[in-house]
Structure 1
Amino acid sequence: MAPEFSQTAPLEAPALGEPYLLTPGPLTTAYSVKQAMLRDWGSWDADFRAMTADLRRRLLALIGDDKGDYDCVPIQGSGSFCVEAMLGSFVPKDGKVLVLANGAYGLRAAQTMDYLGRAHTLIDKGDYLPPRGDEVAAALDADPAITHVIAIHCETSSGILNPLAEISDAVHSRGRKLLVDSMSAFGAVPLEVGRIPYEAMVSSANKCIEGVPGFGFVIAKKTALEAAKGNSHSLSLDVHAQWATMEKTGQWRFTPPTHVVAAFIEALKMHEAEGGVAARGARYTQNRDVMVAGMKELGFETLLSDQWLSPIIVTFFCPADPNFVFSKFYDLMKDKGFIIYPGKLTVVDSFRVGCIGRMDAHVMRRVVEAAGQSLAEMGVTSAAPPSAALDERSKLAA
């Protein structure tokens, strides 16, 4: 359990009347993070090289690497760029990947493997359940050709926080290598290498660290970085080449997102001042608990059982009431200062509410109030989902 978050005073509101982004990133950022982007930086200048070194050090401090076995490599682009860079760089051309999927991002990893032309197999758990350690163990025992496993830390299409520790145990005990897409969890959910010995992981600037979009980063074993030379299918997504250049010159190989880096360093400083991973996770957990309790009081139901709810984003069934139209609900919520997220499921109609970003329980209570007002304005008398949706949840979760 995350420690209790004890803040009593509300966090500052977004600048200039901006709406809150109730999404899994981009997300609402602090005003000081925005301010950090007001200066221009020379990408080859010594000051910017020092900034790059600083962000790498600060990120490594979050994984508990006491032995210095890991290094951090920033990569330009969105999170999916970084996932592709990781898969293309650390999986050799004759390797084989077990892809663990329970939503859109696991399936995207499998699609990436198709594009890379690398061998892979898939465990697809659907929208309601996580892959479990015993399933991974059985798959690895059945196929000795598998060299790597990729797992999604938090599958934000449904909101499931996957049991990464037991997956890691299954992979590590069988001598295989774990790759982690921790895009939406790193910085708020512990990912210490002493407990979860992964080969490499990726995350993004605009998630739980509360920076802005523009780059992501790979944290990997130095031995894996060295072994990755020559593996990549891509010039720009070659993690080894980026790492080697940064180690030699302190520079990015190609034009870096200078303003985004400056904002990210400010966000990292705020993350540390808040209390690091534990405190950030506690605030997000309280955000989730306050919001979910309030939405249930309105009659909404979560897609997932409480056991699998992440502190990152929560998926709710759309109400069965014929007066409920998501696009109208979205517009009404936006008018009240909150941008929510459409659903990303194929089985049922749903929408998502994010818990991350520069928000706290005071904001989440206002979210619930806005949702209640929006239902009333639409003439929705019950937020209860279709009985078929609940039946499907019960059947698949059994």
Structure 2
Amino acid sequence: MTHVKIEAPRMGEPWLLTPGPLSTSFAVKEAMLRDWGSWDTDFRAMTAEVRARLVAMLGPGGASYECVPMQGSGSYCVESMLGTLIPRDGKALVLANGAYGLRAARSLAVMGRAFRVLDKGDYLPPRGAEVAAILDADPAVTHVVAIHCETSSGILNPLAEIAEATAAAGRRLLIDSMSAFGAVPVPPSEIAFDALVSSSNKCIEGVPGFGFMLCRREVLEAAAGNAHSLSLDAHAQWAEMEGSGQWRYTPPTHVVAAFLQALREHEAEGGVAARGARYAANRDRLVRGMRELGFETLLADAWLSPIIATFFCPADPAFAFPDFYDRLKARGFVLYPGKLTVVESFRIGTIGRLDGSVIDAVLSAIGETLADMGVVSAAPPQSALDERARFLEEVKA
């Protein structure tokens, strides 16, 4: 494990306190300064190294998995996984507690796959007992779709108990680990799953342009002909890479080069455990500092992820998020708007090339910004707290 060197942004470049794209190292940026031929042997070797490193990142039990890179954003890869691995006569149980679970359900609707949704709202995770009860009552369900970290709110969902309930019912688990893989372990020896997807611009700290699926080999082999899409057929992509070492269609060559550099930096830092520890330290420092400023987190501490934290917008009439955002950007920090269904909120990411010194700097900038805006209190509106309490009471009932 090595200490991560955090370079100050270059002239005019802000810190991205977002869940991807995020702030990257100079070396990752510099890796994109060379052109690569997509069919060239050197680039094929790069693709092979990326695939091998990602499988190795799974840890114990990962040897039976294959890596399938796929062009496009994270949502492309989620749709590729769902359309390739869920048979046309299958049915999915989608576990939703934010925008990304609901997006998975919408993808299934568009591709004509049967599904049902367990929607937990913005504040709570799906629990293993709930999954078990639904699977017991609905034998038609073949697959469970879980979001590892729901970045709408920042919830880190209890993947282990969801996987246990799914396996006990004899069903198959598909994981959207877009914002968690690389910092939160998903060892197949402990968590039974058929496949997960993630993206180049998340916890491995590359840049946007492709994602990847890690899938059990036997499951991938059996998926031929399932896909609803030519370009998003993960089985066909895997078969081509196994045969020729090439991507089926034009790959994002510069992004792959940057990602390979990011993978090497990830390993040098100490792998998943070290990356996750840095992010968790960032989160703890951020949440503590924001509470000292008077802000309140949307979530209880038990469900806070090390990826991104959501805060209620202040009730103070002097506070307006667009103005707050612009003033912080002028100070060199880019935040993330809220993405919730009920309350006004905003999010601050703790991943990327950040450490405690950056977190301290953003806390200082937020304090100065509130003063400049004339915001006396950062406390949330009582209506937002009442709405949360009402929802939690309904869940208990």
Q: Same fold judged by TM-score > 0.5?
A: yes
Q: CA deviation at 1:14?
A: 2.3
State which of 210, 216, 232 in structure 1 corresponds to 2:211. Answer: 216
**Which residue of structure 2 aligns with residue 207 of structure 1?**
202
| Identity among equivalent pairs (%) | 68
**Equivalent AA in structure 2 for residue 82 of structure 1:** C
**Equivalent AA in structure 2 for residue 33 of structure 1:** V
Q: CA deviation at 1:394?
A: 2.7
**Which residue of structure 1 aligns with residue 54 of structure 2?**
59
**Which residue of structure 2 aligns with residue 97 of structure 1?**
92
Q: CA deviation at 1:392?
A: 2.2
Q: Check conservation: 1:10, 1:360, Cα contact below 8 A.
A: no
> Matches of 2:137 and 2:112 in 1, distance apart?
22
Q: CA deviation at 1:396?
A: 2.5
> Matches of 2:351 and 2:14 in 1, distance apart?
14
State which of 158, 161, 181 in structure 2 corresponds to 1:186. Answer: 181
Q: Check conservation: 2:62, 2:187, Cα contact below 8 A.
A: no
1:106 aligns with 2:101: yes
In structure 1, stretches of 5+ residues that fail to align are none
**Which residue of structure 2 aligns with residue 81 of structure 1?**
76
**Equivalent AA in structure 1 for residue 282 of structure 2:** N
SS at match of 2:68: strand
SS at match of 2:63: coil
SS at match of 2:227: coil
SS at match of 1:247: helix
State which of 62, 66, 69 in structure 2 corresponds to 1:71. Answer: 66
> Matches of 1:315 and 1:124 in 2, distance apart?
19
> Matches of 2:65 and 2:283 in 1, distance apart?
32
SS at match of 2:11: helix
Q: Over the residues paired in the alignment, what is the CA RMSD in angstroms?
A: 1.2
**Which residue of structure 2 aligns with residue 149 of structure 1?**
144
1:341-364: per-residue Cα shift (whole Å, max 9, x none)?
000112110000000000001100
SS at match of 1:61: helix
> Matches of 2:325 and 2:177 in 1, distance apart?
28
> Matches of 2:62 and 2:381 in 1, distance apart?
53
Q: CA deviation at 1:389?
A: 1.2
Q: CA deviation at 1:393?
A: 2.2
1:248-288: per-residue Cα shift (whole Å, max 9, x none)?
00000000000000000000000000000000000000100
Q: Compute the TM-score of the two structures, normalised by the length of structure 2.
A: 0.97
> Matches of 2:155 and 2:8 in 1, distance apart?
28
Q: CA deviation at 1:53?
A: 0.2
1:236 aligns with 2:231: yes
**Equivalent AA in structure 2 for residue 130 of structure 1:** P
> Matches of 2:228 and 2:283 in 1, distance apart?
40
User: Number of residue pairs matched?
Assistant: 393
**Which residue of structure 2 aligns with residue 393 of structure 1?**
388
State which of 279, 282, 285 in structure 2 corresponds to 1:287. Answer: 282
**Equivalent AA in structure 2 for residue 332 of structure 1:** R
**Equivalent AA in structure 1 for residue 109 of structure 2:** D
Q: Check conservation: 1:314, 1:353, Cα contact below 8 A.
A: yes
**Which residue of structure 2 aligns with residue 316 of structure 1?**
311
Q: CA deviation at 1:386?
A: 0.5
SS at match of 2:118: strand
1:275-332: per-residue Cα shift (whole Å, max 9, x none)?
0000000000010011111110110000001010000000000000000000000001
Matches within 5 A, 1:223-302: 223-302=218-297
In structure 2, stretches of 5+ residues that fail to align are none
Q: CA deviation at 1:66?
A: 4.4
1:142-191: per-residue Cα shift (whole Å, max 9, x none)?
00110000000000000000000000000011110000000000000011
**Equivalent AA in structure 2 for residue 163 of structure 1:** P
**Which residue of structure 2 aligns with residue 305 of structure 1?**
300
Matches within 5 A, 1:3-14: 11-14=6-9
**Which residue of structure 2 aligns with residue 369 of structure 1?**
364
Q: Check conservation: 2:2, 2:269, Cα contact below 8 A.
A: no
Q: Check conservation: 1:15, 1:31, Cα contact below 8 A.
A: no
SS at match of 2:92: strand
State which of 323, 332, 350 in structure 2 corresponds to 1:337. Answer: 332
Q: CA deviation at 1:197?
A: 1.3
> Matches of 2:319 and 2:2 in 1, distance apart?
37
Q: CA deviation at 1:15?
A: 3.0
> Matches of 2:178 and 2:214 in 1, distance apart?
12
> Matches of 1:268 and 1:69 in 2, distance apart?
21
Q: Compute the TM-score of the two structures, normalised by the length of structure 1.
A: 0.97
**Which residue of structure 2 aligns with residue 195 of structure 1?**
190
SS at match of 2:69: strand
**Equivalent AA in structure 2 for residue 167 of structure 1:** I
> Matches of 1:351 and 1:274 in 2, distance apart?
30
> Matches of 1:231 and 1:6 in 2, distance apart?
44
> Matches of 1:349 and 1:264 in 2, distance apart?
35
1:353 aligns with 2:348: yes
**Which residue of structure 2 aligns with residue 121 of structure 1?**
116
1:95-121: per-residue Cα shift (whole Å, max 9, x none)?
000000000000000000100101000
Matches within 5 A, 1:14-29: 14-29=9-24
**Which residue of structure 2 aligns with residue 44 of structure 1?**
39
> Matches of 1:216 and 1:226 in 2, distance apart?
20
Q: Check conservation: 1:14, 1:31, Cα contact below 8 A.
A: no
Q: CA deviation at 1:225?
A: 0.6
> Matches of 1:105 and 1:131 in 2, distance apart?
14
1:136 aligns with 2:131: yes
Q: CA deviation at 1:6?
A: 9.6
